[in-house]
């Protein structure tokens, strides 16, 4: 079951509102090659390289929200985790999409509350609603 939420600006005159769908739905994306096509183009080669000539036993994807502790950027990213029959595993990177540093941590949508609105850059954000999706 996926989850998520909507954040909105506390200033009524600012129309900023963003909906985040996180986690993963009930339906796995099958086959793996079509999941790869859903990834950011720059992430695809590393996954294709990792699965080349190996037997995949399990894979999962996740829509996650990350906060960069280096530049304070918040971004959504699809991460993929793959396990192989030989015992190895592979996970896509979580580098910041803005500063490219590897100092990100996964956050929950609720943690966006009280951050400065990215649109008006004055008022704070609040949680507007929570979502469950599949």
State yes or no: residue 125 binds Zn ion (CB under 5 A).
no
- Is 90 within 8 Å of 50 (Cβ atoms)? yes
> Does residue 46 touch Zn ion according to CB under 5 A?
no
Question: Among 126, 133, 124, 116, which Cα is nearest to 8's?
Answer: 126
CA distance 74 to 68: 6
Which one among 18, 73, 76, 115 touches Zn ion, defined by CB under 5 A?
A: 73
- Shortest Cβ 78–Zn ion spacing (Å): 18
99 scored as a contact of Zn ion (CB under 5 A): yes
Under 8 Å between Cβ of 74 and 112: yes
Q: By CB under 5 A, tell whether 14 contacts Zn ion.
A: yes
User: Residues in the site for Zn ion, rule: CB under 5 A?
Assistant: 9, 11, 14, 16, 68, 70-71, 73, 96, 98-99, 117, 119-120, 123
């Amino acid at each position: 079951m996926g989850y998520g939420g909507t954040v909105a600006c506390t200033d009524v005159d600012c129309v900023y509102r963003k909906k985040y769908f996180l986690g993963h739905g009930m339906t796995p994306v099958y086959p793996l090659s079509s999941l790869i096509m859903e990834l950011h183009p720059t992430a695809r080669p590393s996954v294709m390289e990792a699965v080349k000539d190996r037997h995949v036993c399990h894979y999962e994807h996740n829509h996650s929200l990350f906060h960069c502790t280096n530049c304070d950027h918040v971004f959504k990213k699809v991460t993929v985790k793959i396990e192989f029959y030989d015992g190895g595993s592979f996970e896509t990177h979580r580098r910041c999409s803005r500063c490219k540093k590897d100092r990100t941590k996964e956050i929950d949508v609720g943690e966006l509350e009280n951050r400065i609105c990215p649109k008006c850059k004055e008022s704070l954000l609040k949680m507007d609603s929570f979502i469950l999706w599949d």
